[in-house]
Each structure stands twice: as structure tokens, then as C-alpha cells.
Structure 1
């Protein structure tokens, strides 16, 4: 299959009450793992590339690998820019073949964020690319983007209503207590805030920083309207932990395939488990 926009996947998820997994990829093995897990679970899937992934692997490699993966499996796949921070970067991804983009204008005041998001939508929508916006700052670190605990703040429900109404964005990422990276303790999600936002906006809601959030909290967030769940840190942990184990058990091993192959398989299992938690198994 060819790549599809995220909006096409989230409309069905919203109607049927499940969430689509959005998994960050940084190399070939992780792209293969995302595709294999989605195919095994017969689930729609979103491959995400952050600014750091694009800098590391190269935008041409990321786009080519995603297209090859999508062509080799029977389930729908979207290729999504995670946390794009400028119009220029978003346009580069659209020209390269991304089927969906996120413009993260959350560091700006509301009206500036609206203006930037509308500019991206005006360029993306005519070519069939969906757009995710963000309102409220999600704490933690995502590649080169760092938001301190002091600067992080939750999404205001009324501002969410205004933002969606004035932009017509395809999906909205909100801040309700999650964070990027590893948690120091157990995260506490503001479900009342999520429920209020859901009552005021009719677009799919996105939960960033979901690695490390308890499964039951994820399920409750999905019940209350979250349709896209982002996973990055858990993937890194599964992949690197497997590599460490092989190199510890076999210190003389020099074949990278025998190190990265098991890491790929560990990542497949992690992603399959997440897909089942999100309720998207069999929804392709």
C-alpha cells in the first residue's frame, strides 16, 4: 500500500473508540519492526520521524524506508513528522513524501500558534497531507526540544476550542500530564481536563510522551477521546537493552546483524503489545 495521511486513520479510530499507535523510527531495523508488528496485529500504524531522526538518518532514507515498508504489508501506514517547529521544515518533509506533519507552535502565544498552524494547513491540505497541531507545552526532552518542569503547562480547554475552530487542524496534541523521555515517578494524567477538552473539540486528540504511562491510564485516556498515542522512549529502551544483552552475552561478536537482529525482534514484541493496549488490533 502507499502511504496514507494520519487523518484517514484517526477518523476511523475516533468513530470506533480506539487509538492508532504512532511509533518513532530512527533506523532501518525500527522501521522494519513497526511494519512487522502492524502486519502481525492487522493494525493501522503511524511511523514518526522527529527532527533528530531526520538529521541522523537523512530525510531521503526515512521517506524511502517508510515507502518500502508500506508497499510490503497489507495494513495502512502513515509517515508523520513529529514536532516540526518551522514552516520551512514542514515543507521539506511534505516535498520529500511525508503523508502527515505536526507543526508544534506551542512555544508561541495562542494567536501566533494559530497563525503558524493555519499557514501549514494552507500548504499541506491541497496536496493531501494532514496536519497535527499542539496546544500546551509537554515537559521533558524530545531530541533537541527541551521543556523544563517550570515551563510545562497544561492545555486550557477554552483555548483548545478556539485553536481548533480557527485552524481547522486535523488532530490536536494536548498537555494533560505526560512528558517526553523517562519519568522520575508515575505520571498522573488530568482526565477531567481531557474530558472537558473532548467536549469542546471534535477533532482527534493526540497523547505525546506516552512511554511509561501505566496501561490502565492509557486505556482511560483512549476511552475519553485520545485517538493517537505516541511511543518513542519505550522503543529505544527495548532496542538498546537487547543490544546490550547480546554484547554482554557474546562479547566477541562482531556481526552487527547478530546484534541488531534480536533488537529488531524485541522491538516488534514491544510494539505489538502497545497496539493491543491501544485497541487497534484487527482494525486495518
Structure 2
């Protein structure tokens, strides 16, 4: 069916209090694993690539792989730029055919963040592509960005309301206690803050840094407008773990077609578990 936009699949999730899984896609094997998981459960999926992944894979390779996979997929598939680091990066993704983009100006002063996001929204909407943006600082590690304090800067609800209205974004990533990477202890999520933001913004919300967050906490967030939940670290962990196990048991093996199959299957099983957590019985 080809790639779809995130706007097409997030609005229903927002209205019905479930979420769509957005999965870090670093190579063809993970792309296939993510889509296989979505197909088995009849659920849409979002393939996410950071600027670092784009640099590694190549933007045209990434788009071609995602598009080829989406063409034969039995579920809707979107290709999303995660944590776009500049206006130029966004434009390159739009020209390549991405169907969703995030611009991350969260480290900028508030007014500068708004101006950058408005500029991106104007360009992306003219191409029919939805935009995600972030306000506040989500801690942890994302590409080469390291923020030590998970609660470095939680999103102010008043600022969130103004930000969403002025920028006309399609989805909004608030900082409410999650972090990129894996957690050393269970994060304390600010649900009261999230509830306030939800009531002030008529906009699908996005949870970044969901790898390792307890299922109950993720599901509780769905009551407050969270409709897109990002997973990446856990996928990389099980992929690498399975490759290490395979070579330990088969040190003589040199055929990547055999090496990657069990790793891909582990990722598919994890994707299915995350979709079950986010959507339950909701089907396409």
C-alpha cells in the first residue's frame, strides 16, 4: 500500500486512547522485523530514523528500503525522522520522501524553538507531511546528545499550550520524566503534569524513551493523550544479544543470511509485545 503519514494513523489513536508503536529502524533486518510484528497483530507501525541512522545507512537507501517494505506490507507503515537536528535535515528528508518529520529545537530558547518549528511546519505541510516537535528536555542518550538529568527540564503546561497553538504541529513530545536509553531504576513519571498538558493541547502526544518503562506506566500515559510511543534501545539490545548468542553456539558460521534470522525474530517478538501493550485488541 506504500508509505502513509503518521497523521493518518495517530488521530484515531488519540480519539480512542491507544497508541501506535514507533520503532528505531537501523537496518533492513530491523525494518523487516518491525513490519512482521505489526502484520502478525494487524497494527500500523512507524519506522523511525535519527540523523545518525540516516548518516550510517544513507537517506536514499533508507527511503528505498522502507518504501519497498511498505509496498508489500499488510498494515500501514510510516517513515519518520526522529529528533531532526536542523531545518536542512528536515528538508532533505522531505525531498527523499519521508512521510513524517520531527524537528527537535528543545535545547533552544522558547521563542527560537517556536520560530524553527513554524518554519519546518510551513515546509512540511506544503508537502502534506505532518510534524512532531518537543518542548522541555528529555534526558538520556539520543545519537550523540547526552543529557544526564532525566528531569533536566520538564515541560511547562502553559508553555506547551502556547507552543502547540503557535506552531500548528501535528504531534507533541512533552518531557514528563522519561529518558532515552535504558533506566537504572523505574522512572517516576509526572502524570499530573501530563494530564495538564493533555487538557491544554488538542494534539496527539508522544512518549520518547519508552524502552524499559513498565507496561503499567506506559498504559497509564495513554489515558492522557499519548498516542505514539518510541522504542529503540530495547530493539538494539535484543538484536545484539541474539547475534552474540548465535556466534557463541556457531563460531564457525559466516553466512549473514543465517546469522541475522534469529536476531530478526527476537526483534519481531519484542515488537509484538510492545504493540500488545499499546493497542491490545485494537486492529487495523
Aligned partner of 1:121 in structure 2 is 121
* Farther-moved stretch of structure 1 (144-153 vs 182-191): 144-153
The question of 1:3 aligning with 2:16 is answered: no
CA–CA distance in structure 2, aligned partners of residues 91 and 145 of structure 1: 21
Q: CA deviation at 1:283?
A: 2.9
What's the CA shift string for 1:32-86, capped at 9, x where partnerless?
0011111111001110011111111111111001101110112111100000011
CA–CA distance in structure 1, aligned partners of residues 48 and 281 of structure 2: 19
On the 8 A contact 2:151/2:177 being kept in 1, the answer is no
Name the SS of the counterpart of 1:129 in structure 2.
coil
What's the CA shift string for 1:194-224, capped at 9, x where partnerless?
0010010010000000000000000000122
Name the SS of the counterpart of 2:274 in structure 1.
helix
CA–CA distance in structure 1, aligned partners of residues 139 and 121 of structure 2: 26
Q: CA deviation at 1:182?
A: 1.5
Q: CA deviation at 1:282?
A: 4.1
Name the SS of the counterpart of 1:60 in structure 2.
helix
What's the CA shift string for 1:134-182, capped at 9, x where partnerless?
0011001111222231882111111000000101100000111111112
**Structure 2: gaps (5+ residues):** none
Aligned partner of 2:144 in structure 1 is 144
On the 8 A contact 2:85/2:105 being kept in 1, the answer is yes
Aligned partner of 1:257 in structure 2 is 257
CA–CA distance in structure 2, aligned partners of residues 281 and 160 of structure 1: 32
The question of 1:57 aligning with 2:42 is answered: no
CA–CA distance in structure 1, aligned partners of residues 98 and 116 of structure 2: 19
Name the SS of the counterpart of 2:68 in structure 1.
helix
What's the CA shift string for 1:112-134, capped at 9, x where partnerless?
11100000000010111110010
Name the SS of the counterpart of 1:3 in structure 2.
coil
**Structure 1: gaps (5+ residues):** none
CA–CA distance in structure 2, aligned partners of residues 44 and 150 of structure 1: 30
Aligned partner of 2:205 in structure 1 is 205
Structure 1 moving runs of 4+ over 2 Å: 280-283
CA RMSD, aligned part only?
Answer: 1.2
On the 8 A contact 2:6/2:46 being kept in 1, the answer is yes
CA–CA distance in structure 2, aligned partners of residues 140 and 109 of structure 1: 20
CA–CA distance in structure 1, aligned partners of residues 73 and 183 of structure 2: 34
On the 8 A contact 2:150/2:178 being kept in 1, the answer is no
On the 8 A contact 2:150/2:177 being kept in 1, the answer is no
CA–CA distance in structure 1, aligned partners of residues 39 and 272 of structure 2: 10
Name the SS of the counterpart of 1:264 in structure 2.
helix
Name the SS of the counterpart of 2:71 in structure 1.
helix
Aligned partner of 2:111 in structure 1 is 111
CA–CA distance in structure 1, aligned partners of residues 270 and 281 of structure 2: 14
Aligned partner of 1:93 in structure 2 is 93
TM-score (normalizing by structure 2) = 0.98
CA–CA distance in structure 2, aligned partners of residues 197 and 80 of structure 1: 24
